[in-house]
């Protein structure tokens, strides 16, 4: 069992692929600090993770809950601050 409870579950397997990322990002934007969404997909979400890392650095944590082949489940949590879990966005400086 994951260490968190998903507050939102999104199963995107029946959503047209061109629409998925925009819908997922819109759902993520509705999360409050510390809230998690569980994403269910039919393929490895690495391109989505790269999009999150590029556009929302330090604002989320990513947890693989299930890795295919039938379903890929991912927990995406909005972090309480700009940085967390040791996952610096690369813009850290100073002490």
**pLDDT tens-digit profile of 50-94?**
999 999 999 999 999 999 999 999 999 999 865 544 444 433 333
Q: Is the pLDDT of residue 5 over 70?
A: no
8-78 has which CATH code? 3.30.110.40
d(C-alpha 66, C-alpha 79), whole Å: 21
């Amino acid at each position: 069992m994951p260490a968190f409870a998903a507050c939102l579950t999104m199963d995107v397997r029946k959503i047209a692929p061109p629409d998925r990322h925009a819908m997922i990002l819109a759902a993520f934007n509705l999360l409050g600090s510390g809230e998690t969404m569980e994403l269910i997909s039919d393929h490895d979400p690495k391109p989505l993770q790269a999009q999150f890392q590029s556009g929302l650095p330090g604002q989320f944590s990513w947890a693989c809950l299930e890795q295919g082949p039938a379903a890929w489940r991912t927990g995406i949590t909005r972090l309480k601050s700009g940085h967390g879990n040791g996952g610096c966005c690369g813009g850290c400086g100073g002490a």
